[in-house]
Amino acid sequence: MRDIENLCMNCFSELTEGAVCTECGYDNDTPADTLYLAPKTILEGRYVIGAKQEHESDAVNYAGYDTQLDKQIIIREFYPKGMASRLEGSDAIHIRQRYTNEFNSYKTAFTDLWTTLEKMHKLSAVVPVYDVFEANETVYAIIEYIDSIPLREYLLRNEEGYILWDSARLMFMPVLTTIEALHSNGFIHGSITPDNLVLCRDGKVRLKPFCIQQAADATSELEFNSNDGYSALEQYDNSHKIGPETDIYAFAACIYRALVGSNPPSAPERESNDKLMIPNSIAESIPMHVIKAMGSALQVYPEKRIKDISEFRELLDAAPSVRAQGATVDAAKVKEENQRTLEEQLDYVAHQRELEKMGRKSRYAVIVLVVLIIAAIGAGIYLVKNTDLIVPKEETTTTQLQSFEVPNFSNNGYTQSDIENNGVWNQQFRFTFNGDYSTDVEKGIIFKQSIQPGEKVKEGTEIVLTVSQGIQTVEVPEVGGLSLEDATKKLEAAGLKVSSVEIYNDGTHTKDTVKANDGAAPAVGSTVAVGEEIILQVYGEVQTTTTTTTTEASSSISVN
């Protein structure tokens, strides 16, 4: 085992000229952030924590060193943003009271994901994972360090900014097997981008360490990893569900970026203006079957998109069955199609195939059917105009108001739009909506109603429904340097609970004073729920040492 005291905490090379590493330029005297594990902390008796690299939605990555294998690694610590923190001097994760349930749920998801990836180390597009364990109230994954560059950087280094399909195919196709394996194990990547696909020295393209699926969903409590142009519509806050087609969309968007040289427009933008253009000069260099594959995979709505990796692979590969179907398209139309949007191209090809399948007899049958429909409509119009089947409005009679039983609007997860869009309920009742905070009910969900379920009321009766505004939040005020008493008053006035822990006082601080920097958890300035507990670090008694010195007196007797 090498002496870690003389290693760079960023690249783990030997330090030869002071604190600044001559290999990577990292200054090893950089002050450590107390929210993270201190450099040189050792986990499981073998893994050395190095410099913090990045804090993503669900976890933080550290540079690391495996003392047993004598090699550099990546250490990924489950540490969801906003849900947890660290108290000074402690390695353990401190979970914010409000997020205890979510933390445990996401922790399980993190463990399951990285344990599965550990078993999938033979797949070419997986960065090898060789240990997953619990410590410090959280979970760690040990990931092999591989020298690589992001696909986006590789493309930017290319003079044209894009590459041809022959080159892209060699890079992208092996990744599909890994994504397919993830899906078969119940995992959705949710964040495939040119930044998360990396090119390694061995020539393979791999998926860099990534977050759990919940981080790719705007509706979860985790920070949403939005990647405009690559995040599918269903990942934003809407009614569509995330599934395998979500990753297919992102992967197809990466292929688009590699072949076209620009990012696709964001999914919300495409929902209102779906124009995904390929310049003609570039389209001519892309095989038609690849254009059609991207068109099928980049459908804005997931319901219309390819949902299976094997089907997408077949389209990209132009397997014999696909080539036979594509051969029927008139070659003279190809150049024209290259100038169309991807969706127009896909619709055009589908239309041509449909016409080829339809015989003359079928087309005649369609024509006859259309004529009959038109005739029926005409007959209907004639009857309306020339008979008394439609009762004039002024001849209708007023009927007595009916009574209706009030449904349970407050315990079934209904939203305001659910009620407003229900035609039957709006004929029976008149609704008014107001909002109120709730610690138990998700924002946007109805949780109170002015008339109890089961009561019978007259038609048109007003029912007031209360919609949850979510948890009432407040920003943690600055209390550093205040006495514990004053800090408590200030925090309680903001609607927060207070507890404290005593920390060492070296004599330069007043007893019962809150630590000035990072003295509160959650931190000052962070947004927390009203009623949440804030832990203050407070200086205790000054530590003193009393030394008693005994002087032994001696007397001198003078003898005359």
Residue 554 clears pLDDT 60, i.e. is over it: no
3-class DSSP state of 434: strand
pLDDT band (50, 70, 90) for residue 207: very high
How high is the pLDDT of residue 545? 53
Note the pLDDT of residue 250. Answer: 96
508 — alpha (psi -120 to 50), left (phi > 0) or beta?
Answer: alpha
Looking at residue 280, its pLDDT comes to 83
Query: Cα dist. 289→52, 237, 250, 387 in Å?
Result: 44, 33, 19, 58
What percent of the chain has pLDDT above 90?
Answer: 48
* Position with higher pLDDT, 290 vs 394: 290
Per mean pLDDT, which range of 288-302, 360-374, 506-520 is the poorest? 360-374
Centre a 10 Å sphere on the Cβ of residue 428 and count the other Cβ atoms it contains: 20
Give the pLDDT band of residue 336 (cuts 50, 70, 90): very low
Q: pLDDT tens across 26-55, in order?
A: 999 999 888 999 999 999 999 999 999 999
pLDDT at 274 (0 to 100): 76
* pLDDT of res. 413: 76
pLDDT at 372 over 70: no
> Is residue 346 predicted with pLDDT exceeding 60?
no
- pLDDT tens for 497-550 read 998 888 888 888 999 999 988 888 888 888 888 888 888 888 888 866 544 443
| Residue 126 per-residue DSSP state | B
Distance CA 346, CA 315 (A): 12
pLDDT digits (tens, 9 = 90+) for 54-109: 999 999 999 999 999 999 999 999 999 989 998 878 899 999 888 999 999 999 99
pLDDT of residue 430: 93
- Average pLDDT of 111-131? 90
Find residue 61's DSSP bridge partners: 54, 76
CA distance 445 to 428: 21
Burial of residue 122 (CB within 10 Å: 0-12, 13-18, 19+) is exposed
Grade residue 1 by pLDDT with cuts at 50, 70 and 90: low
Give me the pLDDT at residue 159, please. Answer: 83
The average confidence (pLDDT) of the chain is 81
Measured distance CA(179)–CA(229) in Å, rounded? 19
pLDDT of residue 237: 77
Decide if pLDDT at 344 tops 70.
Answer: no
The answer to whether residue 364 scores a pLDDT higher than 70 is: no
Per-residue pLDDT at 137 exceeds 80: yes
User: In terms of pLDDT, which residue wins out, 330 or 362?
Assistant: 362
Rg (CA), the chain: 33
